[in-house]
Amino acid sequence: VRIGELSRLSGIPAATIKYYLREGLLPPGVSTQPNQAHYADSHLARLRLIRALIDIGGLSINTASKLLAVLDSPELGPWESVGKVQYALSQRHGAIPGPVHDENASRVVDELIARRGWDIRPGSPARRTLTDICATWDRLGHTDMIAALDDYAEAIAAVVAVDIKLITDQSSLAETIETVIVGTVIGDSMISALRQLTQEHVSRAPLEEQRTSQPSASNT
Amino acid sequence: VRIGELSRLSGIPAATIKYYLREGLLPPGVSTQPNQAHYADSHLARLRLIRALIDIGGLSINTASKLLAVLDSPELGPWESVGKVQYALSQRHGAIPGPVHDENASRVVDELIARRGWDIRPGSPARRTLTDICATWDRLGHTDMIAALDDYAEAIAAVVAVDIKLITDQSSLAETIETVIVGTVIGDSMISALRQLTQEHVSRAPLEEQRTSQPSASNT
């Protein structure tokens, strides 16, 4: 199809599609005549993915572009691709101005990683994000949150087990990488929504009922 | 202390502090003379909370303002306060332009809520966010993600159990509400970071090892 038809099918203005082409988010079409190109179903699928990353995932054009570049690099091995995707995504949180990096927070995160037996690179952006979060909690006086990190890490293991199952079920490398991208970007929004729904359900029960449903030391 | 000293202690420019005062994020100081006001430790603590919500949580001034208004309304009951906080926070995801709301996606979310036995208001923003996410996955052809919703919901229950424990451990209503705010806003970033760290650890093991570590049907 021509670009006008691609715009109609996707609901995205032709000027925006041309912008994605210039920025390299969308691969070029096949030139048929000078100043004319034809686009295939794969272009329509790519446009839907771009909009999902930007509209639902809240990514910048720049981050979306880095992710799609990995998807378009079949010469990378599977875990090299997944690693590149994870690093590009961790930098979403790079919006934190003036990171804190207290020594105390670094130690808390290092010890958590050691206790969990995690194999994490020193420069991992997620490690840095978690360090900034711990430093913030420390400053706010929320040491209860820092103390709960192990419980959260344990609970997240079950979430990642579902992630891994989805990823290993893919039949091709391109599908695996797209699943990592979609599962992480949109998956974070999904996890937040499921967490809020569960909290809403629990918060509609009276406070007293919840307090008494906690295991009581006096009953043992 | 005077505003200049508050600026020095917090590291926040006086002009920004005045902006927070005008917007109502920071309660006024105690007037000592015309055009002079004194600020207490509670103002410094509030400034740290404001910066955490905006810098680490990525909230807009507007959303942060709504949350702090709940914190400053002790006349609200506990669960009414928590409900207001959750609704203000769900609207973070309101950045999704042109929500989709496919009938199919609505049905998927309604059925999930019914299966989990969740008591959720029809107008819940988290319900709407999850519906938009399902509609997006449907369009992208990622029905595998939709099929995994029950597994994710089950895994999230363990995360919320940690949330609830932290909330019920607070001794006052103001502390409870602040814990809900900090735990949700910064907590979502923490969960994302823990999920990425766990994925990084798992992804450094060779793919084959992971495939064979999946429980195999032929072993039963």
* Helix axes B78-90 and B61-71, enclosed angle (nearest 10): 180
| CA-CA-CA-CA dihedral for B61, B65, B67, B69, to nearest 10 | 180
Q: Which residue has the higher pLDDT, A158 or A56?
A: A158
Flag if B195 and A191 touch (Cβ within 8 Å): yes
Query: Averaged over A42-48, what is the pLDDT?
Result: 91
Q: Which residues pair with B33 in a beta bridge?
A: B36
pLDDT number for residue A160: 92
Q: Which residue has the higher pLDDT, B173 or B191?
A: B191
Calculate the alpha carbon distances from B207 to A77, A121, A180, B165 in Å. Answer: 11, 18, 14, 37
Q: What is the band of A108 on the pLDDT scale with cuts at 50, 70, 90?
A: very high
pLDDT number for residue B196: 86
Flag if A82 and B119 touch (Cβ within 8 Å): no
Query: Averaged over B187-211, what is the pLDDT?
Result: 76
Q: What is the band of A191 on the pLDDT scale with cuts at 50, 70, 90?
A: very high
Q: Which residue has the higher pLDDT, B89 or B112?
A: B112
Q: Which two tokens stand for residue B54?
A: 């905006």
Query: Averaged over B79-92, what is the pLDDT?
Result: 74
- A202 reaches B (C-beta below 8 A): yes
Q: What is the band of A138 on the pLDDT scale with cuts at 50, 70, 90?
A: confident
For residue B85, pLDDT over 90 is answered with no
Q: Which residue has the higher pLDDT, B175 or B56?
A: B175
**Set of chain B residues whose Cβ sits within 8 Å of the Cβ of A86:** 196, 199-200, 203
Query: Averaged over A156-180, what is the pLDDT?
Result: 86
For residue A154, pLDDT over 90 is answered with yes
- The answer for A 87-106 residues in CB contact with B (under 8 A) is 89-90, 93, 95-98
- A86 reaches B (C-beta below 8 A): yes
Q: What is the band of A159 on the pLDDT scale with cuts at 50, 70, 90?
A: very high
pLDDT number for residue A91: 62
**Set of chain A residues whose Cβ sits within 8 Å of the Cβ of B94:** none
What is the ipTM, given to two decimal places?
0.78
Q: Which residue has the higher pLDDT, B206 or A181?
A: A181
pLDDT number for residue B208: 45
Give the range among A165-179, B83-97, B109-123 with minimum mean pLDDT: B83-97
- B147 reaches A (C-beta below 8 A): no
A30-33/B30-33 β-pairing? unpaired
B185, B59 Cβ separation under 8 angstroms: yes
pLDDT number for residue A168: 82
Whole-model pTM? 0.78
Flag if B165 and A148 touch (Cβ within 8 Å): yes
Q: What are phi and psi of B177, to 5 degrees?
A: -65, -40
Flag if A56 and B96 touch (Cβ within 8 Å): yes
A36-38/B36-38 β-pairing? unpaired
Tokens 């992480």 belong to which residue? A184
Q: Which residue has the higher pLDDT, A36 or A4?
A: A4
For residue B210, pLDDT over 70 is answered with no
pLDDT number for residue B95: 42
Flag if A45 and B141 touch (Cβ within 8 Å): yes
The amino acid at B109: V
Of A130, A179, A202, the CB nearest to B197: A130
Closest Cα of chain A to B33: distance in Å?
31
The 8-class DSSP code of residue B216 comes to P
Task: Output the average pLDDT for chain B.
Answer: 82
For residue B99, pLDDT over 80 is answered with no
Q: Which residue has the higher pLDDT, B45 or A206?
A: B45
Q: What is the band of A186 on the pLDDT scale with cuts at 50, 70, 90?
A: confident
Task: Output the average pLDDT for chain A.
Answer: 82
For residue A100, pLDDT over 70 is answered with no
pLDDT number for residue B162: 93
pLDDT number for residue A90: 67
A159, B159 Cβ separation under 8 angstroms: yes
pLDDT number for residue A112: 97
At A46-74, the pLDDT tens digits run 998 998 888 777 788 888 898 898 888 87
Give the range among A57-61, A128-132, B93-97 with minimum mean pLDDT: B93-97
User: What is the share, in percent, of chain B residues with pLDDT greater than 70?
Assistant: 86
For residue A214, pLDDT over 80 is answered with no
Q: What is the band of B205 on the pLDDT scale with cuts at 50, 70, 90?
A: low
Flag if A155 and B154 touch (Cβ within 8 Å): no
For residue B26, pLDDT over 90 is answered with yes
- A50 reaches B (C-beta below 8 A): no
pLDDT number for residue B200: 81
At CA B89, angle to CA B83 and CA B91, rounded to 5? Answer: 110
